Amino acid sequence: MSFTLPELPYAYDALAPYMSRETLEYHHDKHHLAYVNNGNNLLKGTEFEGKTLEEIVVGSFGKNAPLFNNAGQHYNHLHFWNWMKPNGGGAIPGEIEKKIIEDIGSVDKFKEDFIAAGVGQFGSGWAWLALKDGKLVVLKSPNGENPLVQGATPILGVDVWEHSYYIDYRNRRPDYLKAFVDHLVNWDYVAELYSKAV
**What residues line the site for Fe ion (CB under 5 A)?**
159, 161
Rounded least distance, CB 77 to Fe ion, Å: 6
Residue among 42 and 160 whose Cβ is closer to Fe ion:
160
Which parts of the chain fold into alpha helices (H)?
21-24, 33-43, 53-60, 65-82, 94-104, 107-120, 162-169, 173-179, 187-197
In terms of CB distance, is 14 or 101 closer to Fe ion? 14
In the bound complex, what is the minimum distance in angstroms from residue 50's beta carbon to Fe ion?
Answer: 27
Query: Cis peptide before 86, with omega less than 30 degrees from 0?
Result: no
In the complex, the smallest distance separating the C-beta of residue 76 from Fe ion, rounded to whole angstroms, is 7
Q: 3-state secondary structure string, 72-86? A: HHHHHHHHHHHCECC
Nearer to Fe ion, 81 or 96 (CB): 81
CB of residue 124 to Fe ion, shortest distance in Å: 9
Describe the strand order of the beta sheet including 125-132 as a list of residue ranges: 135-142, 125-132, 153-159
Residue nearest to Fe ion (CB): 159
